[in-house]
Amino acid sequence: MSYQKDVSEFMNLGEQKISSNLTLKNDQVKLYMNLIKEEFEETLKAFNEDDLVELADGLADMVWVIMGMCNSTGINFDKVWTEVRASNMSKFVDGKFVKNESGKILKPEGYFKPNISKALGL
């Protein structure tokens, strides 16, 4: 399953441009950024109202518009995800981790930042 491919199909049918080059300079990118903001606000509202159904809908809608943004900007999300996942997994040393008081897993010695430029082919 590829969320980005699913959204590509929708965008093709809706005659929206899928960029093959990295770009932030087009009206469609602005559209998707506004959609991300709108869906985030709806998701936050559902969370604050303890509405699990609307929260799930909002989360799925956010993934959808984020994939639309990736398609609009020429970002291959799978490559970026792979890089971020590797970085996050470097927070575990021999299967062990440290959390702060709010439950966030902390960065130990040996943690490495994701190389997003590499993932983007820059």
> Do residues 1 and 11 both lie within one domain?
yes
In the 8-state DSSP scheme, what is residue 100?
A: -
Count: domains in the chain = 2
**Is the domain of 109 the same as that of 50?**
no
* Same domain flag for 60 and 83: no
Domain range for 46: 1-75
* 32 backbone φψ class: left, alpha, beta (φ>0; ψ -120 to 50): alpha
17 and 71 assigned to the same domain: yes
The rounded distance, in Å, linking the Cα atoms of 81 and 76 is: 9
My answer on whether 68 and 81 are in the same domain is: no
Q: 53: buried, middle or exposed (CB in 10 Å: 19+, 13-18, 0-12)?
A: exposed
pLDDT for position 28: 96
Tell me, yes or no, whether 22 and 54 share the same domain: yes
**Together in a domain, 1 and 54:** yes
Produce one character per residue of 15-37: b if its CB has 16 or more CB atoms within 10 Å, e if not.
ebebbeeeeeeeebbeebeebbe
What torsion do the CA atoms of 30, 32, 38, 41 make, to the nearest 10 degrees?
-100
Q: Which residues of the chain register pLDDT less than 50?
A: none
| Residue range 6-32, pLDDT digits in tens | 999 999 999 999 999 999 999 999 999
Q: CA 81: distance to chain centroid?
A: 8
Under 8 Å between Cβ of 46 and 57: yes
Query: What pLDDT, on a 0 to 100 scale, did the predictor assign at position 1?
Result: 79
38: CATH:
1.10.3420.10
Query: What pLDDT shows up at residue 76?
Result: 96
User: Are both 10 and 45 inside the same structural domain?
Assistant: yes
